């Protein structure tokens, strides 16, 4: 009998594998524009980060998102992520 597998994604900060619902997806589209993807359906290259401040801070410091997406992440994106975590 096959078990149903929950898709896991890796957080760029802590390298932990978590169900997609517990992570935030940051997407870089073809034009190189960054978006925070709450639907998980945006096209482009995506990187995941845990929905908490620890990982956000860590990602900022170790530039995990920069590496994963091969692009400089502007503070604006971190601010947005921060606000999202705050307001949750």
Interface positions with Zn ion (CB under 5 A): 11, 13-14, 50, 55
CB of 30 to Zn ion, least distance (A): 27
Residue the block writes with tokens 């870089």:
28
First to last CA, the chain: 38
Q: How far is the CB of 54 from Zn ion (least distance, A)?
A: 7
* Distance from chain centroid for Cα 62: 14
In the complex, what is the shortest distance from the CB of residue 60 to Zn ion, in angstroms, rounded to a whole number?
A: 12
Residue tagged 């900022």 (tokens): 60
Q: Which is nearer to Zn ion, 10 or 45 (CB)?
A: 10
């Amino acid at each position: 009998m096959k078990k149903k597998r929950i898709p896991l994604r890796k957080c760029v900060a802590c390298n932990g594998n978590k169900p997609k619902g517990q992570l935030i997806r940051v997407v870089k589209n073809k034009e190189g524009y960054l978006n925070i993807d709450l639907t998980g359906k945006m096209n482009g290259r995506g990187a995941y980060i845990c929905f908490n401040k620890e990982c956000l801070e860590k990602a900022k410091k170790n530039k995990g998102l920069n590496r994963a997406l091969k692009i400089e992440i502007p503070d604006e994106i971190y601010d947005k992520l921060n606000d999202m975590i705050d307001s949750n």
